[in-house]
């Protein structure tokens, strides 16, 4: 099943991406200069792309993980059900990501 490998790939990407989370939290705890460095990075094009990618990885992995729960509980094994769950996770991940970024820009841009 093609989406399972995407679940795995996003899991690994999220794993590596926690480095960014650590950098950000430690910078917030260290002071204004360190925090400004993080913001310079996340404000750059590459930084924005990475954070956008991280958002998508998280949303997709979450929905795809919920799909796993449905299977864990013993439901959704019929071919058409598997299809529906898989497409739901794939499309839902993109929709949530875009929604979150629209809200983020509405809020963040306003400050």
Partner 1 sequence: MSTADTPKRSMRTPLGRVRNLGAAHSGTSDFWRQRLTAVAMVLLMIPVLVIIMMLLGRNQAGAKQILGSLPVAIIMLLFIIASAWHMKIGMQVVIEDYVHNEKLKLVSIMANNFFSIAVALASIYAILQLSSGV
Binding residues (CB under 8 A) for partner 1: these are 1, 4, 8, 11-12, 14-15, 18-19, 21-22, 25-29, 31-32, 34-36, 62, 65-66, 68-69, 71-74, 77, 100, 103-104, 107-111
Among 26, 36, 49, 65, binds ligand HEM (CB under 6 A): 65
Q: Least CB distance from residue 43 to partner 1, whole Å?
A: 10
CA distance 21 to 30: 14
Tell whether residue 31 is a contact of ligand HEM (CB under 6 A).
no
Angle between helices 79-109 and 45-72 (to 10 degrees): 150
Among 31, 32, 108, 110, binds ligand HEM (CB under 6 A): 108
Residues 6+ apart with CB under 8 A from 96: 59, 63
Residues 6+ apart with CB under 8 A from 50: 17, 20, 42
Query: How many helices, marked H, and strands, marked E, lie in the chain?
Result: 4, 0
Which of these ranges, 54-62, 74-82, 85-93, lies near ligand HEM under the rule CB under 6 A?
54-62
Tell whether residue 56 is a contact of ligand HEM (CB under 6 A).
no
Longest dimension (CA), the chain: 55
Tell whether residue 17 is a contact of ligand HEM (CB under 6 A).
yes
């Amino acid at each position: 099943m093609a989406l399972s490998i995407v679940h795995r790939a996003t899991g690994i990407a999220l794993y590596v991406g926690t480095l960014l989370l650590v950098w950000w939290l430690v910078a917030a705890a260290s002071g204004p200069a360190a925090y400004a460095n993080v913001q310079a990075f996340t404000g750059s094009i590459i930084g924005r792309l990475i954070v956008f990618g991280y958002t998508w990885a998280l949303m997709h992995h979450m929905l795809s993980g919920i799909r796993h729960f449905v299977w864990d509980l013993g439901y959704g094994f019929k071919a058409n059900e598997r299809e529906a769950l898989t497409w739901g996770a794939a499309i839902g991940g993109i929709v949530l990501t875009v929604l979150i970024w629209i809200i983020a820009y509405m809020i963040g841009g306003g400050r």
